[in-house]
Structure 1
């Protein structure tokens, strides 16, 4: 499983193309062959997955009980707008207009590595999200990573 690293400020061109920074492209050498998938995030942002990661998620979704309405609704909302992306010769991807509108991304964007995916935020929305850091980050870490988050070998 790939885990990405880094935070990158980017600009979209007038056609909605996003240059994937070289430092990020180096972390995903299979992209030129396999491509990427972009999708809506749970908050008002986009998420980019490698094709391999997206296929794993689809495999997980296919195991859910689709006779349950909540499951069907979740799958519909989660996959809504999912689009294949391919890098062009200049290392750019064309982001769908409907997804850009959903995330409020017009020109300035931030790519934020989040484990096995890359979040794409409008710069102002990302800055607002990060400015909302809890006063006691150590307490949040304890709540999230406490006994449930401890590794068995630790």
Structure 2
């Protein structure tokens, strides 16, 4: 399983193209063959998935009962705007204008690796989100991770 690391300060060019940082490309050795998928995030951001990760998510979605209205609504909302991306010869991807508008992404972009995917944020929105980190991060960690077996923070 892919575990991506890092935050990358980037810029979109006038055509909406994003240069994928070389340090990120190194973590995605099959990206040129496999491709990527970009989609709306749960917050006002975008998420870029390696195609193999996206395929696993779609497989999970296909197991949902489409006769259930909530499932249909979720599938529709989750997959809305999903677009395959491929790197051009210069190592750039073209982010769809409809998605960048949805996320309020301007020229200054922050890529934030989150396990097996990369969040794409307007730089200022990302900084604002980090400014809203819970005052007591330790309490949040206990609430989210405290019940995990061996919750000893990797020691």
Q: What is the TM-score of this pair, normalised by structure 1?
A: 0.96
Give 1:135 shift: 1.2
Aligned residues: 153
Name the counterpart of 2:47.
47
Query: Which sections of structure 2, spanning at least 5 residues, go unmatched?
Result: none
Name the counterpart of 2:61.
61
Name the counterpart of 1:150.
149
**Aligned equivalents of 2:39, 2:95: Cα separation in 1:** 10
Matched, 1:25 2:25: yes
Q: Provide the alpha-carbon RMSD of the alignment.
A: 1.4
Secondary structure in 1 matching 2:33:
helix
Query: Which sections of structure 1, spanning at least 5 residues, go unmatched?
Result: none
Give 1:150 shift: 2.6
Matched, 1:138 2:138: yes
**Aligned equivalents of 2:150, 2:66: Cα separation in 1:** 33
**Aligned equivalents of 1:59, 1:134: Cα separation in 2:** 34
Matches within 5 A, 1:72-111: 72-111=72-111
Secondary structure in 2 matching 1:26:
helix
**Aligned equivalents of 1:120, 1:16: Cα separation in 2:** 13
Q: Deviations over 1:48-94 (max 9, x none)?
A: 00000000000000000000000001000000000000001111000
